[in-house]
Structure 1
Amino acid sequence: MNTRSLGFVKRLGIAVLLMGVGIGAIRVPSLAQKPTAYASFKPGAVWLADDGLPIDCHGGNIIYSDSLKTFYWYGEHRAEPRGAACYSSKDLYNWKNEGVVLKKGAIDVFERPKVIYDATRHQYVMWFHYDGNRYTVAELGVAISDKPTGPFVVQHHSRPNGHESRDIGLFRDPETKKAYIGYAADHVNRTIRMVELSGDYLSTTAQDTDIEAHCEGPGILKQDGVYYLLTSGCSGWTPNPATYYTASSLMGPYTSQGNPFIGDVGNNSFNSQPCYIFKIPGYKNAYLYMGDRWNGGGHADSQYVFLPITITPAGKMELHWYAEWNLNLFTPEKTAR
């Protein structure tokens, strides 16, 4: 580091200490790089937003607003201020930083935010893992906003039907329009449970079942009447081989189908952990695997592994590694988005 840069960092460090936060917890706009125009995904590579800073949006999900013709990516903002980040995009490659849309504030642990849009009430609903600093509270939290870019306001938090809840996945059935949360439940993620949400998406119902699998990081898709549940094992920040399950009903029973990552020589889901499966509009059976590459901890600059998911003619889920790819891998639908 040159003397000029060192002096800047020293001055910045003093200011940060006066504010009572650590220098490693903030992002410095003056250190931003020149924004890059992207035309593809590069899994595991540094991904810059329009502000020239690495995207800081972990463990979340993507939704698409048909009225606004815009994608919104929500996730954990792990730099200060901590909370839920939102980025917007027109093409899934280039993202605009919309800021922190829900500040963690007094919440000790805020993880895995997932957003769904309630078209009837015209509001955005965010579910997340709410916890204490000893990781024993284990509740679901919910917040709402009338705009996709927030601010979101916390409504309540509780354990679904009395069960512990940590890692969560969110899924809306394309046929029934009912929404569900898959959550890692009970005694440090002993199992995955599936719970149906109320019609306004603001609370859980008594429709809650145990799929009897010791796993976390659930992602869900549906194709040809079959539900696919993708999960990771429980190994903290360390990636591990994934497992997927299938069922004819979202509430189960589920059958284990093994590891869908093909050619995964590291046996670690291409060095990633699943957080969501996004069905890409405008393409036939186009599913985007959203994975986090945590690099040993929940760092603000941890990378992302976005890959296409294939459901074979035999009904098998497969993920193959691509160092670079784009949406041309998918077949466009006949009707325009």
Structure 2
Amino acid sequence: MARLFSEVNKGRVRMRHKRRKSSPFPFNNAGGRFSVSFAVWISVFLVLFIYFISQITEKTDGKLIRVHPNHLSVTYELEDIEEEPNFRLPPPHKRNPRAVKRRGSKKKPPAYSEFLDESSELHSVLFPDRRLAVGPNAGNDSSSTGYFYPGHVWLDTDGNPIQAHGGGILFDDRRKTYYWYGENKDGTTYHTQPKGTARVDIIGVSCYSSKNLWSWKYEGIVLRGEQQNVTHDLYKTNVLERPKVIYNSKTNQYVMWMHIDDGNYTKASVGVAVSKSPTGPFTYLYSMRPHGSDSRDMTLFEDDDGRAYLMYSARDNVDFHIGPLTEDYLGLTGVMKKILVRQHREAPAVFKHGGTYYMITSGCSGWAPNRAMAHAAPSIMGPWENVGNPCVGGNRVLRLTTFFSQSTFVLPLPGLPGSFIFMADRWNPSNLRDSRYVWLPLKVGSLADEPMDYSFGFPLWSRVSIFWHKRWRLPEGWKNVN
């Protein structure tokens, strides 16, 4: 009997062995399932572990902790976390209970909208006195030379406040010079209607030149507003915003695109101008509604292959549209793609790093600041995914208001891969000529800290970080760093 049981057991073993050997899918058995599941969970754990240690962790007390990846040593100073005490915001205005019952409740404005009121204490903090101005002729001691002070009055080489709002920077490789173009708002602020948006008559587009990005020479108004012809797009009571200039090497022309509108913001078009020189004068050509759609905040982006693209908020800022320019940069091809659909974004600033395209946008809240959002895409035409709020440091209020500013341009720094300058405007709607500039270091690196739109929650893109500093400067030899 024992011998019989022994033979039977040997047969069972042989049968099990044959079944395992004959199966084309060895993981279909219980042991294989366990092995594959275990490997999957180990992989997930490793991804999450790398993800979490690379994050910025926001504590309940508002403090931030950042684990730095291995960056170039010259950029460490730019990535340091600089904290600010939380602002003591005034309480929201209380409404009379009878008025609420009679007219209905209204959505309370955010407390930080108080900065729009010139009489508020917060306003004076965000718009420092002219005596604290910076620039080559600001009269400060030599220890301030070369330092950026976000929100301070910034003077040109003639000692006048720089007027280049909503603009962008062109680096002219032939002249080895940076040119900064923007809206000149050195006029009287007024309202066309009691509750209408603040306005300044069109003066034109200013141009400044620099070799070091800190000392700027005024080159004049390179595209002037029209004072007499009321039918002209640039007539003084119309709107000219967010001018951007790129150079076309095939035609040897500098091409400017801008947002063109009427006083009621119903024209919603783009305008085009050209010049043979970066310092103008630019000749205005025409305006149009791109791809047959309304267009408001816009920007240009020139890729490494020489192709250029127009990106603009459309459908009353509900979506973004993007499309390539013609070879001469003076028109649009018939190709257009809708991106950031139903996300209600504006103020685009596009840049590229490591073959990936990035963009910073703001929400739509008029002159009031709001939370920035970074986006990433494998192709300039999309799909674009959200990668979170890029603002780092300061305090919670600063991070939720893009440091009380709105994006306008992102400038790559030569010699420092992954390092950029984030350019933004701190608008002063009660006196638009006194709007300030917020320039801060921007870095691409480590993993993004918010779920993606299409990647099942796994971070596929690098994080975009804009670091808050009250005072900062570019590292020594930033042009020649390898």
Q: TM-score range by the shorter chain?
A: 0.7 to 0.9
1:181 to 299, 305, 310: 310
How far the C-alpha of 1:199 sits from its partner, in A, is 1.1
Does structure 1 residue 292 correspond to structure 2 residue 425? yes
How far the C-alpha of 1:281 sits from its partner, in A, is 2.8
Does structure 1 residue 70 correspond to structure 2 residue 70? no
CA–CA distance in 1 between the matches of 2:430 and 2:310? Answer: 25
CA–CA distance in 2 between the matches of 1:34 and 1:223? Answer: 32
- In the other structure, the counterpart of 2:197 is none
How far the C-alpha of 1:327 sits from its partner, in A, is 1.5
- In the other structure, the counterpart of 2:281 is 151
- In the other structure, the counterpart of 1:5 is none
Say which structure is richer in helix: 2
1:228-278 Cα shifts (integer Å, max 9, x gaps):
111000001111000111111111111111211123521100011001111
* Compared CA separation, residues 306 and 291, structure 1 to 2 (3 A): same
2:396 to 233, 255, 265: 265
What one-letter code is carried by the residue in structure 2 that aligns with 1:42?
Y
How far the C-alpha of 1:205 sits from its partner, in A, is 1.5
CA–CA distance in 2 between the matches of 1:66 and 1:279? Answer: 14
* Compared CA separation, residues 330 and 44, structure 1 to 2 (3 A): farther
Written as runs of structure 1 = structure 2, the 5 A alignment for 1:119-130 is 119-130=249-260
How far the C-alpha of 1:298 sits from its partner, in A, is 6.9
- In the other structure, the counterpart of 2:220 is 99
CA–CA distance in 1 between the matches of 2:312 and 2:335? Answer: 13
Counterpart secondary structure, 1:74: strand
What one-letter code is carried by the residue in structure 2 that aligns with 1:204?
L
1:78-128 Cα shifts (integer Å, max 9, x gaps):
125711000111110000111111012142111100000112221110000
What percent of counterpart residues are identical?
42
* Compared CA separation, residues 261 and 334, structure 1 to 2 (3 A): closer
* Compared CA separation, residues 71 and 298, structure 1 to 2 (3 A): farther
Counterpart secondary structure, 2:265: coil
Written as runs of structure 1 = structure 2, the 5 A alignment for 1:275-314 is 275-296=408-429, 299-314=432-447
CA–CA distance in 1 between the matches of 2:173 and 2:380? Answer: 26
- In the other structure, the counterpart of 2:337 is 209
1:138-186 Cα shifts (integer Å, max 9, x gaps):
0010000101111101111101110111111111112x22111211112
CA–CA distance in 1 between the matches of 2:175 and 2:260? Answer: 30
CA–CA distance in 2 between the matches of 1:52 and 1:268? Answer: 30
- In the other structure, the counterpart of 1:79 is 186
1:297-316 Cα shifts (integer Å, max 9, x gaps):
57122100011111113310
Aligned-pair Cα RMSD in Å:
1.9
How far the C-alpha of 1:220 sits from its partner, in A, is 0.8
Written as runs of structure 1 = structure 2, the 5 A alignment for 1:154-233 is 154-174=284-304, 176-187=305-316, 189-211=317-339, 212=341, 213-233=343-363
Counterpart secondary structure, 2:446: coil
CA–CA distance in 2 between the matches of 1:120 and 1:248? Answer: 27
What one-letter code is carried by the residue in structure 1 that aligns with 2:270?
L
Say whether the 8 Å CA contact 1:237–1:297 is kept in structure 2: no
1:30-81 Cα shifts (integer Å, max 9, x gaps):
xxx9923841211111100112111011001001111112110000001257
What one-letter code is carried by the residue in structure 2 that aligns with 1:52?
G
Written as runs of structure 1 = structure 2, the 5 A alignment for 1:127-146 is 127-146=257-276
- In the other structure, the counterpart of 2:154 is 47
CA–CA distance in 1 between the matches of 2:426 and 2:473? Answer: 20
CA–CA distance in 2 between the matches of 1:332 and 1:161? Answer: 39
Q: Number of residues paired by the alignment?
A: 301
* Compared CA separation, residues 146 and 54, structure 1 to 2 (3 A): same
Question: 140-149 or 218-227, which moves further after superposition?
Answer: 218-227
What one-letter code is carried by the residue in structure 1 that aligns with 2:314?
A
Say whether the 8 Å CA contact 2:153–2:161 is kept in structure 1: yes
Say which structure is richer in strand: 1
What one-letter code is carried by the residue in structure 1 that aligns with 2:175?
L
CA–CA distance in 1 between the matches of 2:347 and 2:160? Answer: 26
Listed as ranges, the gaps of 5+ residues in structure 2 are 1-134, 188-201, 227-231, 448-461
Say whether the 8 Å CA contact 1:284–1:333 is kept in structure 2: no
Runs of at least 4 residues off by over 3 Å: 329-335
- In the other structure, the counterpart of 1:326 is 473
CA–CA distance in 2 between the matches of 1:167 and 1:297? Answer: 21
TM-score, normalised to structure 2, is 0.60
What one-letter code is carried by the residue in structure 1 that aligns with 2:179?
Y
What one-letter code is carried by the residue in structure 2 that aligns with 1:317?
V
What one-letter code is carried by the residue in structure 1 that aligns with 2:432?
H
What one-letter code is carried by the residue in structure 1 that aligns with 2:359?
L
Say whether the 8 Å CA contact 1:237–1:298 is kept in structure 2: no
Counterpart secondary structure, 2:278: coil
Listed as ranges, the gaps of 5+ residues in structure 1 are 1-32
- In the other structure, the counterpart of 2:137 is 35
How far the C-alpha of 1:191 sits from its partner, in A, is 1.4
Does structure 1 residue 234 correspond to structure 2 residue 369? no
TM-score, normalised to structure 1, is 0.85
CA–CA distance in 2 between the matches of 1:317 and 1:240? Answer: 17
CA–CA distance in 1 between the matches of 2:335 and 2:421? Answer: 28
Larger Rg: 2
Does structure 1 residue 113 correspond to structure 2 residue 243? yes
